Chains A and B, each alone.
Chain A
Amino acid sequence: MHHVSLRAATLRAVWRFAFRRVFGIVLVLFVAVVLTFGALQYVPGDPILILLGDQSGDVELEARLRAEYGLDRPLTEQFVSYLGGVLRGDFGLSFRFASTPVKDVLATGLAISPVLALVALVLSVPLGIGLGTFAARRKGTLADSLTMFVLVLGISIPNFALASFLVYLFAVRVPLLPVAGWGTPAQAVLPLVLLIVPAMVYIGRLTRTYLLEVLQEDYIRTARAKGLREHLVIYRHALRNTLVPLSTSIGIIFGGLLSGTFVVETIFNIPGLGSLAIQSVFARDYPVVMAVVLLYTLFYSLINLGVDLLYGVLDPRIRLSS
Chain B
Amino acid sequence: MTLLRNRHAVIGGVLVGFVTLLAVLGPWLAPFDYEAVDMEAVWAPPGGEHLMGADALGRDVLSRFLVGARVSLGVALSVLAITLVIGVTLGVVSGYVGGLVDTLVMRLADIIFAFPELILAILVAAVLGPGKLAVVVSLALVWWPGIARLTRSLVLSLKSALFVDAAITSGTPTARILLQHILPNIAAPIAVRASLGVGFIIMAEATLSFLGLGVQEPEPTWGAMIRDGIGALRTDPHLALFASLGLATVVIGFNFLGDGLRDWLDPKASSR
Q: Which positions in A face B, CB cutoff 8 Å?
A: 24, 27-28, 31-32, 35-36, 39, 42-44, 140, 145, 152-153, 155-158, 160-165, 167-168, 171-172, 179, 209, 212-213, 255, 258-259, 262-263, 266-267, 277-278, 281-282, 286, 289-290, 292-293, 296-297, 300-301, 304
Contacts and interface: CB of A to CB of B under 8 A. Distances in A.
Given A28-B111, A158-B247, A153 B252 contact: yes
Interface residues of chain A: helix, strand, loop or mixed (majority): helix
Contacts of B206: 158, 160-161
Residue among A32, A281, A292, A304 with most chain B CB within 10 A: A281
16 contacts: A145-B4, A156-B252, A157-B247, A158-B203, A161-B226, A161-B245, A171-B233, A259-B207, A277-B122, A278-B211, A281-B126, A289-B123, A300-B115, A300-B119, A301-B114, A304-B114
Interface in B1-23: 1, 4, 8
A209 B207 CA distance: 28
B252 A160 contact: no
B154 interface: no
Nearest to A212: B271
A171 B240 CA distance: 14
A31 B109 CA distance: 13
Contact of A263 (B126, B199, B207): B207
B119 A42 contact: no
5 cross-chain pairs, A with B, having the tightest CB-CB distances, nearest first: A161-B244, A164-B240, A259-B118, A156-B252, A28-B114
Contacts of B137: none
A145 B1 CA distance: 9
A153 B8 CA distance: 12
A255 B203 contact: no
A131 B240 CA distance: 30
A36 B123 contact: yes
Interface residues of chain B: helix, strand, loop or mixed (majority): helix
Contacts of B223: 160
Given A161-B247, A300-B114, A281 B213 contact: yes
B255 A152 contact: yes
Interface magnitude class on chain B? 35 or more
B42 interface: no
Given A28-B111, A43-B127, A289-B122, A152 B256 contact: yes
Contacts of A32: 115
A27 B256 CA distance: 39
A258 B116 contact: yes
Contacts of A36: 123
Interface string B76-113: 00000000000000000000000000000000000100
B74 interface: no
B177 to A, nearest CB: 35
Nearest to A27: B111
B267 to A, nearest CB: 15
Nearest to B124: A39
